Amino acid sequence: MRSIACLGLVSIVAISCHEEPVTVDLRDQALGAYTYNMKVLEMTDAGLLPVQEAGLSGSFELIKGTGEAEIQGQEGKFFIFSGQKIGKVTKGFTFEVKDQVGSAGGTEITLQGYNGIKYEEEHYQGLYLSAEKTLKVYFTFSQNHRNFVVAITGVKL
């Protein structure tokens, strides 16, 4: 009889010790201000060639997007990129660049993600590394029958 009472007590203790899993939003670690360098490369038969010798630089704010798992890089009133489909990796997270339509010099352009970032033997469009506090984003666009790749590396301030 005593063993039945002990077994019942163990069952109650085991049930009461069950904890709900804690949900962590991977985006939170990356939100904030960044400085960035941007390279624009033209896609040619010979490979990717730099459009200008020196990269462009500036700053942007990484914010949560309107969707449940979205992020946006915003420079002033302008969105530089929008990321979606956040995925966890060993030292941070990855994301896909959301297709966007914009304009440059009065010409409509479409931005699409480009798998130019190699990490852990896979290729990604966007990557945030927690320890280094760096964010990398690659996307393409076409203008005047020419195709370009934009490579952004941001460092969190």
The fraction of the chain above a pLDDT of 90, given in percent, is 63
Q: Tell me the pLDDT tens digit for each residue of 15-39.
A: 444 556 657 789 999 999 999 999 9
Rg (CA), the chain: 22
Give residue 38's domain range: 25-156
Looking at the domain assignment, is residue 5 inside a domain?
no
Looking at the domain assignment, is residue 91 inside a domain?
yes
Q: Tell me the pLDDT tens digit for each residue of 76-126.
A: 888 889 999 999 999 999 999 999 887 777 888 889 999 999 999 999 999
State which H helix or E strand residue 129 sits in.
Answer: strand 126-129
At 73, which CATH number?
2.40.128
Q: Can you give the pTM of this predicted structure?
A: 0.81
Count the domains in the chain.
1
DSSP notation for 57-76: EEEEEEEE-SSTT-EEEEET
Which is higher by pLDDT, 143 or 1?
A: 143
